[in-house]
Amino acid sequence: MAMVTNWMSQTLPSLVGLNGTVSRAGSSEKITLFQSPEEGWQLYTSAQAPDGKCICTAVIPAQSTCSRDGRSRELRQLMEKVQNVSQSMEVLELRTYRDLQYVRSMETLMRSLDARLRAADGSLSAKSFQELKDRMSELLPLSSVLEQYKADTRTIVRLREEVRNLSSSLAAIQEEMGAYGYEDLQQRVMALEARLHACAQKLGCGKLTGVSNPITIRAMGSRFGSWMTDTMAPSADSRVWYMDGYYKGRRVLEFRTLGDFIKGQNFIQHLLPQPWAGTGHVVYNGSLFYNKYQSNVVVKYHFRSRSVLVQRSLPGAGYNNTFPYSWGGFSDMDFMVDESGLWAVYTTNQNAGNIVVSRLDPHTLEVVRSWDTGYPKRSAGEAFMICGVLYVTNSHLAGAKVYFAYFTNTSSYEYTDVPFHNQYSHISMLDYNPRERALYTWNNGHQVLYNVTLFHVISTAGDP
């Protein structure tokens, strides 16, 4: 039998909107994690197609979602309420202690007055009467203290009711969570997330069937440019590289994390020895690959050593706006990385302006193999590689869609119709990141991410 698996990457907390149900293939059993549509919990579902194939869907969110699920928020809110109640009780305790001391002192005064009144036996001199009057005036604040006592009594009743409600809420959450403590449960969920991510990575490659709505990360720079992360870096390395403009630029900003990029802080600057052309750059295994301005030369610049490791001409490749994408911008040469390695997308006179896809050796920049896709490059808005398949959009403007796919493994193509929401109406850079399984775009001065949906066909035991 064959298993068709649908992968929707969830690369950022913003990429949300699904609940947390796990359905095991081959059974009707479902395991419900903390359902939280707002927080992007992973979703596994399964169904059987009419031809007998098992269709499974896996949606994997970013790590560390445990701290953002609904029950976590509810627990935090309850803890805040408990803290508020505790603070209110402390205030009451201090106030009650102060008032109690006052009442005790007034009790002594009242006993003294009572003794004098009894001793007077109905006859008081003017002097004694004035003394009693003065003492009585000292008792006047007692009425306000007693009123405060009444108010505190009402507060205590309210706090008692609130504590009762908190106890009920905690008991309900404990019953729903089961016998595990919250910390233990959090560790279990994190371990499950790690297993799900590892499982998803083993699914391998698939066919593009959907692109999510755009998620705007930042609005920065001019109308044209590129931004990216290293497709080969470990997950702990979240550095972001930023290159503004499409020609004669040399300045590359390296931000320490995505969060720093969003805030515009904690970055260093690299000054390239040779200027770039276009926006089709890519960072791969610690090096930047880009097209040298006014040439068909590919440059490999190593960030750590701040030096060019190798540069090589791409045979026959057009440059200097000879065969750009439909938006121009010296986009003759476009470098890409997918699950299988480094690619160059360009065209030549010999190919009559049709897109050529070449697999490059990342160490020597030599062409390993090339394919003529037959698709005119000037009619393409942008392009990206996923799993050895070149996907081409039909426009860089509003209304664009993924219109064409070329499969390098079979040297064949097909026309597609995958909607692609061009929010800011002018895309000048579009690249797939296989580590995060997301599309990076530069859209009219906005840095934007898209999720992708891939279908996988996996052979299983028993297939003919």
C-alpha dihedral sign at 193, 232, 246, 416: negative
Is the domain of 315 the same as that of 235? Answer: yes
Token pair in block for residue 174: 């404990």
Closest CA to 288 of 220, 242, 326, 330: 242
Establish if 291 belongs to a structural domain: yes
Establish if 308 belongs to a structural domain: yes
Residue ending a domain, choose from 204, 238, 253: 204
Establish if 125 belongs to a structural domain: no
Is the domain of 168 the same as that of 250? Answer: no
Is the domain of 449 the same as that of 338? Answer: yes
Establish if 372 belongs to a structural domain: yes
- Look at residue 22 in the predicted model and tell me its pLDDT: 34
Establish if 100 belongs to a structural domain: yes
The residue whose two tokens read 């097209």 is: 291
Number of domain units in the chain:
2
Establish if 304 belongs to a structural domain: yes
Is the domain of 450 the same as that of 331? Answer: yes
- Look at residue 76 in the predicted model and tell me its pLDDT: 67
- At 250 the three-state DSSP class reads strand
Closest CA to 403 of 316, 326, 289: 326
Give the containing element (helix H, strand E) for 102. helix 70-120
Please give the residue range of the domain that contains residue 347: 207-455
Token pair in block for residue 277: 């052309």
Is the domain of 259 the same as that of 394? Answer: yes
Is the domain of 225 the same as that of 364? Answer: yes
The residue whose two tokens read 């160490």 is: 363
Residue ending a domain, choose from 182, 204, 226: 204
pTM of the model: 0.62
Average pLDDT for runs of 10 along the chain of length 464: 41 33 35 34 42 48 46 68 69 70 70 70 68 69 68 71 72 62 67 62 76 94 96 88 96 96 95 97 97 97 97 96 95 95 96 96 97 96 96 88 96 94 92 92 96 70 46
- At 37 the three-state DSSP class reads helix
Establish if 2 belongs to a structural domain: no
Is the domain of 195 the same as that of 216? Answer: no
- Look at residue 70 in the predicted model and tell me its pLDDT: 61
CA-CA distance, 402 to 381, in Å (whole number)?
9
- Look at residue 1 in the predicted model and tell me its pLDDT: 36
The residue whose two tokens read 């007077």 is: 120
Closest CA to 401 of 417, 387, 414: 417
Is the domain of 78 the same as that of 148? Answer: yes
In terms of Cβ atoms closer than 10 Å to its own Cβ (0-12, 13-18, 19+), residue 397 is middle
Residue ending a domain, choose from 204, 229, 259: 204
- Look at residue 327 in the predicted model and tell me its pLDDT: 93
DSSP state of 38: G
- At 347 the three-state DSSP class reads coil
- Look at residue 100 in the predicted model and tell me its pLDDT: 67
